[in-house]
């Protein structure tokens, strides 16, 4: 049997990769810089996930226990990779705890960073306490604290969700679509409406991209069953008259600018490249793409490969990605790593 496969990052993609390798009888070392596994859905306290409507701590929690309890997996949390040398079949990773791991291959499942709304100051985040992010609303729901205005704890009667915050915006050098925010926002809007039946929820959008089967379950259902209102307008600025938030938009039907009062404004924050990608790129000697994500030289034949043989990649490390696709990519990367590991063993034997 070959040396273990090193999996970096314990989010959906990394957990999926580790589990697949382990189930196939391949030893795995899984490292994560945080003090627990689960990645963004756990660390950021997501509420119910798309598309299963399961709570994140149940859905991803199940994946975590499946890996943590697996005899083929060694889990090292609170650990980073400091150095990574060698060739396919014979890599040596030096970890931040000083230990070394000899690995046949490695999978980078290093994820993304939520867009930081302070980069769009005109939308009021950081200035007005009742301007929050989708992540914070997820936390309000998942902790049981309930959806309340942070300024005074009141339940909002009018909520605006602004899409494409940190996405599709050349002003801040982020031209990509973050893929998930439309669906996540529709989902959140329904959850807010369930919890606060008297609350009006508006979603301001440029385009709605509840792609594939999400159209019926999220875009249409949020309107038909939950009476969420969709308005085609990108908001120019969020300010306050001292009582409520004011959202400045265009009524695109009559071409007139309008200011609409709200109790709470939610930024549907996009997915940035992991802030550590420059460091990861240097340590693992892999190229980043022009957006700052880990690059994939080939789309079809070798979908999990990076620019360095024996180093594979999966999930949102490669670009904005959904949880279910990250899980699929984790499994694909596991297969790629297994093939790589077995071929180096075979070559050594020949």
Partner 1 sequence: MGVHPQIADPVSPAPQVSREKLEEIFDDIRGHAVYHHEIHGCLNCGICTATCPSAHYYDYSPREIVQLLWTENLEGIYDAMQEKIWACAQCYTCAARCPFENSPGGLVMIMREVAIKHDMESAKEVLRPFSRVLLKVISTGNQLAPNMITKEAFPDWGPNVSKVDAPLNILRKAIPMPTMHTLDTAWIVNLKTSVELYSIWEATGVLDQLETVDENLFDVVSDVMDEKREEWEDWLEEQEDEDDEDDDD
Partner 2 sequence: MTNEIGENGGAYKGFGAEWNASQLSADEARRATDWVEAKIDKRALLTTKERKEDVRDVMWQLEKEGEILVHRVGDHNDPIIAKTLYGWDKKIPTNNLWHHKSCGQCGNIPGYPTSVLWLMNKLGTKYLDETDQTSCTAWNYHGSGIGNVVSLAAVFLRNFHQAYVSAKSQGLPEGTYYPLVHCGTSFGNYKEMRHFLLHSAELREEVKKILGKLGRLIDGKLLIPEEIVHYSEWLHVVRNRLKEHQVIDVSNLRATVHPACHVYKMVPEDVIYDDQVLDGNRVAVTTGVLQTLGANVVDYSTWYDCCGFGFRHIIGEREFTRSFTIDRKIKVAVEEAKADVMIGHDTGCITTLDKNQWIGKAVDKVYALPIMADCQFTALALGAHPYKLAQLHWHASPFENLLEKMGIDWEKAKAEFTDYLEEVKQGRIETLYDPKRAITSGPGYVKPKVLAGGE
Q: Which of 148, 232, 239, 325 binds partner 1 (CB under 8 A)?
A: 232
Q: Which residue has the tokens 């969709």?
A: 230
By C-beta, is 254 or 349 nearer to partner 1? 254
Would you tell me which residues interact with partner 2 (CB under 8 A)? Answer: 44-45, 113-116, 118-119, 121-122, 126-130, 132-133, 135-136, 139-140, 143, 145, 148-154, 171-174, 236-237, 239-244, 246, 248, 259, 272, 275, 292
Q: Which residue has the tokens 């950081």?
A: 126
Contact 314, 30 (CB under 8 A): no
| Binding region for partner 1 (CB under 8 A) out of 135-143, 219-227, 229-237, 283-291 | 229-237
25, interface contact from partner 2, partner 1, none, CB < 5-8 Å by kind: none
Smallest distance from partner 1 to CB 168, Å: 6
Tell me how far apart the terminal alpha carbons of the chain are, to the nearest angstrom.
Answer: 15
Quick one: which of 92, 199, 206, 345 contacts partner 1 (CB under 8 A)? Answer: 206
Query: Quick one: which of 230, 227, 167, 179 has its CA closest to 202?
Result: 230
Neighbours of 129 (CB within 10 A): 13
The piece of 85-93, 141-149, 252-260, 324-332 that touches partner 1 (CB under 8 A) is 252-260
Nearest Cα residue to 137 out of 264, 224, 27: 264
Q: How far is the CB of 152 from partner 2 (least distance, A)?
A: 5
Closest approach, Cβ 317 to partner 2, in A, equals 17
- Told to check if 240 binds partner 1 by CB under 8 A, we report no
Element (H, E) at 95: strand 90-95
Please identify, among the stretches 31-39, 212-220, 254-262, 279-287, the one whose residues bind partner 1 according to the rule CB under 8 A: 254-262
Q: Which residue from 58, 96, 196 is spatially nearest to 140, judged by alpha carbons? A: 196
Is 272 near partner 1 (CB under 8 A)? no
What are the Cα distances from residue 347, in Å, to 44, 57, 206, 268, 342?
44, 43, 53, 49, 9
Per-residue x/- track, 3-32, partner 1 (CB under 8 A)? ------------------------------
User: In angstroms, what CA-CA distances link 183 with 79, 84, 163, 315?
Assistant: 33, 38, 10, 18
Q: Which of 34, 250, 276, 324 binds partner 1 (CB under 8 A)?
A: 250
Selection from 156, 126, 154, 57 nearest residue 267 by Cα: 126
233 binds partner 1, rule: CB under 8 A:
yes
Alpha carbon 317 to its chain centroid, in Å, reads 9
Candidates 114, 148, 248, 302; binder of partner 1 (CB under 8 A) is: 248
Nearer to partner 1, 82 or 207 (CB): 207
């Amino acid at each position: 049997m070959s040396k273990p496969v090193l999996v970096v990052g314990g989010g959906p993609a990394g957990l999926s990769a580790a589990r697949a390798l382990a189930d196939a009888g391949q030893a795995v070392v899984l490292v994560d810089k945080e003090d627990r596994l689960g990645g963004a859905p756990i660390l950021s306290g997501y509420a119910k996930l798309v598309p299963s409507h399961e709570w994140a701590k149940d859905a991803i929690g199940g994946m975590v226990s499946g890996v943590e309890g697996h005899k083929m997996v060694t889990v090292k949390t609170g650990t980073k990779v400091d150095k990574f040398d060698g060739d396919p079949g014979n890599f040596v990773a030096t970890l931040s705890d000083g230990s070394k791991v000899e690995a046949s291959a490695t999978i980078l499942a290093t994820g993304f960073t939520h867009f930081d709304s302070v980069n769009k100051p005109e939308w009021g985040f950081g200035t007005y306490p009742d301007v929050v992010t989708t992540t914070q609303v997820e936390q309000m729901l998942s902790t049981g604290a309930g959806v309340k205005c942070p300024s005074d704890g009141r339940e909002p009667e009018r909520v605006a969700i602004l899409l494409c915050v940190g996405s599709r915006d050349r002003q801040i050098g982020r031209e990509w679509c973050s893929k998930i925010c439309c669906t996540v926002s529709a989902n959140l809007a329904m959850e807010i409406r369930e919890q606060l039946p008297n609350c009006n929820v508006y979603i301001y959008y440029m385009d709605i991209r509840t792609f594939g089967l999400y159209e019926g379950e999220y875009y249409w259902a949020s309107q038909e069953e939950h009476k969420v209102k969709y308005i085609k307008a990108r908001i120019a600025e969020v300010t306050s008259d001292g009582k409520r938030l004011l959202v400045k938009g265009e009524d695109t039907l009559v071409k007139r600018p309008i200011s609409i009062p709200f109790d709470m404004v939610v930024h549907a924050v996009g997915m940035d490249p992991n802030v550590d990608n420059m460091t990861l790129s240097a340590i693992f000697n892999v190229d980043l793409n022009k957006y700052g994500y880990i690059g994939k030289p080939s789309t079809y034949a070798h979908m999990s490969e990076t620019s360095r043989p024996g180093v594979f990649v999966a999930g949102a490390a490669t670009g904005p990605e959904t949880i279910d696709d990250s899980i699929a990519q984790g499994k694909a990367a596991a297969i790629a790593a297994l093939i790589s590991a077995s071929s180096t063993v075979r070559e050594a034997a020949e």
